[in-house]
Amino acid sequence: MNKEVLSLIFLFQIYGQSFCRNGTRPNIVMVMSDAFDGRLTFDPGSKVVKLPYVNYLRELGTTFLNAYTNSPICCPSRAAMWSGQFVHLTQSWNNYKCLDANATTWMDLLEENGYVTKSMGKLDYTSGSHSVSNRVEAWTRDVQFLLRQEGRPVTQLVGNMSTVRIMRKDWENTDKAAQWIHQRAASSHQPFALYLGLNLPHPYKTESLGPTAGGSTFLTSPYWLKKVSSELITVPKWLPVDAMHPVDFYSTFTKNCSGDFTVEEIKSIRAFYYAMCAEADAMLGQVISALRETGLLNNTVVIFTADHGEMAMEHRQFYKMSMFEGSSHVPLMIMGPGLMSGLQVNQLVSVVDLYPTVLDIAGVAAVGHLSGHSLLPLLSKARVFSKKQHPDWVLSEYHGCNVNASTYMLRSGRWKYIAYADGLTVPPQLFDVTLDKDELHNVVLKFPDVQAHLDKLLRGIVNYPEVSKHVHLYNRKAFGAWRHSVGTNFSQVIANLRSESALKSARDAIKNKEFKEALKHCKAVLKLEKKNYNAWVFIGLAASELDQPDQSQTAYKKAVELEPEQLLAWQGLANLYVKTDQWDFQVELPNVYQKLVELYASSDKNKCYETISKLSDIYQSDKEYAKLAKVKLQLIQVKEEEGVDKKELLQLWQQLTKLLSDCLNGEEQDTEIQQHIITAFEKAMVLMDPVPGEEHKKMSADYVKCLSKLPQEETKMKEACESMLSLYPNQSYPLEVLCSHYLRTGVQDEGAVSCFSRLLDLAPNSGIGHLGLGTKALQEGRFKDAIRDLSQGLKKMSSSTGWCSLAEAQFKMQRYSDSAMSCTQGLTLCVSGDKELRVKLLKLKLEALVRSGGEGAADQALETFSQIPDAEKDPVLVALRGHAYLYKGQVDEALKVSSELVASHPNLTQALVLEDRHIWRRANFSWQRRAS
């Protein structure tokens, strides 16, 4: 173990003694890798490759020895982790169909409960995040022939012994995560939650293998390969092909692993995979090091896990999508203050347990029914009692491609039970994983009682025949919807199993998926006719299927230039940009959608609405609210042209007001957005009926609230308040908004006083009303009345300006100790952006403390002086500091301050210095309270 890791262990043992030290909630950092075999986190698997930071977590945290994915594929597994629910409950069937973008995650709940949250890297849990082709891949399980869907697994060595950063995108995200941790440490003491998603050690896309290539290249450098102990790499045992379970054989074939592999090939694939795990471990280490460097490690819970494992040629397969241990067993390691160190837990757990665990750690109540159970009782040093017992089983299920039947795995005790489809048409499998760690002996016929018991238990958890039926119907519906979306050109369109749905040429080459031949034919056409629109579209399609995105884009753009009002090329560009994870493509995608909206508006209203929805999702995700508003306005315009009724238009305007209202909370406010939201409110209120009425009253209040956030719309805000008061005279809210405005701006004219009085007539206990009258009394020199009204107002509501006014009134009444305490209250509430008020409170507090006298007050005064920006440049503040030194008995320091003031400001400081010396002589070193 290297020196850095040893030092980390030492520091964590010193500082990580208690959970939520000093009553504070811990920070939470989760690093989730992709395709990381959980068996590498404990012996003997941990010996095959050097994983120093995994070992570090094992020594100082808790390692779960039997942690499983709830679905051995990216998106559904992550959907389970983020939602806390099983796959069949969220209907996360494949990499296309997962959670709704608005689903409540544990990160959402942490943010709602005071955590600063940040997610970076691979999230991958919402529907549509993968290629649309995922909607139609699974239909192939029902056809009577096999289709290869993956490239043959290969290895690729790059760089040299100095080449460290291979997966650049992961490293970039890791760097950002480390930087964010440093920024949090420097800027805030508020607890935070950070999620970092890695793509490693997922195999890379194999570009050279053509359009059917998925992630089948295991790629690394000599630097990482050196971390692997080649002599410990085992060659997995395989069953003969004719002895394989039919579902396993189907997966072997579709993953392109049914051919011959040499022992050297297998060992090489496994060695490269382990090296990729070592690179992922280094990224985990960078996050841990950032926590250590910032001093945050002692109050941070670190969680390391993965969405699924990697077969790495076990059972004649690579990749995921299998219930065998290599694919379904994931790492789960948790370290933090108050948690057990060096603990290894045998309890069966799964990633769905992370949702309640994280909430439990943060002290946040879960919302709704969860499939998972908190793991905190299993790893906490303190006695933590769970509300419900963790079951002695885990469930995993799979419904996507490369497997020809919905699959359900139940781990319970020593047994692993795997059921398929309806439980009748495909035979189940049963393994004793204690005796048969390689899972080569299906003993389902040998132990019929065990099979019956586990099947009954499984059906009690999930009615899997019904779920399988539902998945089958979904697949048919998804394929039908895709086919319908292609329209009358379906006969000219193909859907490649590993890439985006795209338009199919009538050419025989494209019908036969001979895309390179198709390119030759199209180029031959262009030699004769350079401006052949269809030829350019077909080139775009073929190049896209061959994973040549730049050539595809060039061809589609050429077609667009030739026929800018034709749909096919624009549709092709949209499909290309959606499926290709390339930054410049994502930037252009909204412009393509915008053009499609224009084209669909006059030809296909449903397609128009669908495209507007996609465009809205992009703008909302990117927080481009001005563009989002324009798109929504386009939708309303199309609806108006279509002649929709008044009720539907009202709903659209209301949705727009709700959508844009949240944008006004940020510090930077876009003028265009402001005008759009004002228009939306005004349009909605015109359409409302009846007036007055409850719905109209609520909309009026929302409009007033919106305008109150726009300082430049003061006139509109006042008009809206008066209009609401005229219709709803007994409503206090518009008066509260007006009074808040007067308090904030310092206006205390007759209109403001009248507003405060009217508010108190309607709501005698209104804090804002009392604060307003108290502020007015302060301005008029009625300090006793000011103290009374301000104190009463502050009992009802917190206000930094209110505390400041109260402190001023108390100071004027020579209640210096009370004034200092009020300043402290105001400083506690003062927001970071209000620097002027903060400085005012600090100066007032300093003078109040000095005037109150006494050594204790003097200590506080000196501390307050140190908090005032540029206090050394203000002679009055410096003089007050000198007085504080006198009260502390630090005569030399006081005389030094006096001498410096006499030298630099003789006229200003003469009286102050003489007064200090007079006090010094009278005190006779017995320091008494100084008279004002």
Q: What are the catalytic residues?
A: 74
What residues have CB less than 8 Å from 116, skipping those under 6 apart? 184, 188, 190, 191, 192, 193
H-run or E-run covering 121: strand 116-121
Torsion sign across C-alpha atoms 31, 37, 40, 41 = positive
Distance CA 704, CA 664 (A): 13
Q: Look-up: residue for tokens 């382990």? A: 274
Please provide the DSSP assignment of 234-255 as one string.
Answer: -------GGGS-HHHHHHHHHT
Question: Cα torsion at 778, 779, 781, 785 (round to 10°)?
Answer: -30
Q: Is 591 helix (H, G, I), strand (E, B) or coil?
A: helix
The reply to whether omega before 211 is within 30° of 0 (cis) is no
Distance CA 165, CA 790 (A): 61
Residue 525 burial class via C-beta count within 10 angstroms: exposed 0-12, middle 13-18, buried 19 and up = middle
Distance CA 512, CA 499 (A): 16
Please provide the DSSP assignment of 612-681 as one string.
Answer: HHHHHHHHHHTT-HHHHHHHHHHHHHHHHHHT--HHHHHHHHHHHHHHHHGGGGSSS--HHHHHHHHHHH
Distance CA 270, CA 256 (A): 17
Six token digits for residue 724: 């609401």
Q: Are 397 and 409 in contact (CB under 8 A)?
A: yes
Q: What are phi and psi of 419, to 5 degrees?
A: -110, 155
Distance CA 753, CA 759 (A): 10
**855-867 vs 835-852: helix crossing angle, rounded to 10:** 160
Q: Are 893 and 885 in contact (CB under 8 A)?
A: yes
Distance CA 288, CA 291 (A): 5
Q: How many CA atoms lie within 13 A of 645 on its CB side?
A: 1
Q: Are 167 and 199 in contact (CB under 8 A)?
A: yes
Q: How many CA atoms lie within 13 A of 134 on its CB side?
A: 22
The pairing of beta strand 116-121 with beta strand 192-197: parallel
Per-position b or e across 451-471, b if 16+ CB within 10 A of its CB = beebbebbbebbebbebbebb
Q: Which of 558, 537, 549, 538 is nearest to 585 (CA)?
A: 549
Please give, one letter per residue, the 3-state secondary structure of 360-382: HHHCCCCCCCCCCCCCHHHHECC
Six token digits for residue 774: 């108290």
Q: Are 137 and 401 in contact (CB under 8 A)?
A: yes
